[in-house]
Amino acid sequence: MSSILTTTDLPGIQRVASGKVRDVYAVHDDKLGELLLIVATDRISAFDCILPQGIPGKGRLLTQMSLFWFDFLRGIVPNHLVTADVNAYPAPLHDFRDRLEGRSMLVRRCRMEPVECVARGYISGSGWKDYKRTGAICGIPLPAGLRESDPLPEPIFTPATKAETGHDENISFEAAAHIVGRQTAEVLRDLTLRIYTAASLHAESRGIVLADTKFEFGWHEGVLLLADEVLTPDSSRFWPRDEYLPGRAQKSFDKQFVRDYLEILDWDKKPPAPPLPEDVIEKTAAKYREAYTRLTGNAI
Ligand code: Q0Z
């Protein structure tokens, strides 16, 4: 039985970053050099707020999903994973086995490219907003008359940068080339589209539309690695194929029960977020289990 974890604290281990869901620690290994330990908690956010309760199993399911995809994609792109086996972690981490097992990975510390690499096969979210305003996404002109959630004529690379607001800002390929260099931008674009195409074919075979997804890449010893988390509901839009209907926004695979509940409350969407009822938590946990079993074919 593993308990719900919403905050991590590893005494004696240096925390270097915290996201909405994951916490990152710096770890040194005499053989492997500078590493990071990424711990996925059970935290969940909605309307940009972290909710007060965790979703049981979420951190483990997200970690296992990323591990599945790293393995699935290994013929296309090398990745930052060193190991997710706590027994193989440096000895100082063994004390925290209970908090780390199943929900953490030890990765190579890379020099990250400062561009978020987004692939889109369907028009949704900020892409739909930009298209309605300009007829294009990230400067890529698109046919007239597309409806919200329609498939695009072909998958497109829509880079973004982290803006001050914490929200990503879509940029043109030219702007990305300015930031990372043209040759690197071309490699990032080609890798992103190849990964998206392979993953979306697999997801489709399992009844899930992979509408869009975000990758991050980093350099380690002269090699470009797929880093961060990959193809989880936190980094992607998954839509159940049997409920897909263009012409409207699609329901969120994982967070719909949470959003529906919060929308009926008289809450101004500023922190602190209100507590969730137990049935909303349990139904949401079941959606993460469903995403994992559908995509991987593995039992929980
Ligand atoms: C990724 C992030 C997260 C908050 C740093 N292999 C790597 N090498 C160097 N840096 C990173 C990685 Cl993955 C890195 N982030 C994004 C992840 C929580 C922020 F889990 N930050």
- The two most distant CA atoms of the chain are separated, in Å, by 59
- Residue of 157, 132, 133, 160 lying closest to 146 (CA atoms): 132
Q: Residue 227 and residue 30: Cα distance in Å, rounded? A: 22
For residues 43 and 268, the answer to whether their CB atoms sit within 8 Å is no
**C-alpha count within 13 angstroms, C-beta hemisphere, residue 263:** 6
Strand 140-141 with 22-29, pairing: unpaired
DSSP state of 152: E
Which pLDDT does position 164 carry in this prediction?
81
Question: Cβ(17) to ligand 1 under 6 A?
Answer: yes
Region 124-151: mean pLDDT is 98
When pLDDT is cut at 50, 70 and 90, the band that residue 162 belongs to is confident
CA 185 to ligand 1 centroid distance, Å: 20
Whose alpha carbon is nearest atom 2 of ligand 1?
Answer: 19
Which pLDDT does position 23 carry in this prediction?
98
Torsion angle of the four alpha carbons 131, 137, 139, 143, in this order, in degrees rounded to the nearest 10: -60
Tokens 């915290």 belong to residue: 18
Region 74-92: mean pLDDT is 98
> pLDDT tens, 104-117?
999 999 999 999 99
> pLDDT tens, 212-255?
999 999 999 999 999 999 999 999 999 999 999 999 999 999 99
Region 81-101: mean pLDDT is 98
Record the pTM.
Answer: 0.97
> pLDDT tens, 141-151?
999 999 999 99
255's tokens? 């967070």
DSSP state of 205: H
Which pLDDT does position 26 carry in this prediction?
98
- pLDDT(1) > 80: no
> 140: how many CB neighbours lie within 10 A of its CB?
16
- Residue of 295, 151, 131 lying closest to 211 (CA atoms): 151
Which residue type sits at 279?
D
CA 24 to ligand 1 centroid distance, Å: 7
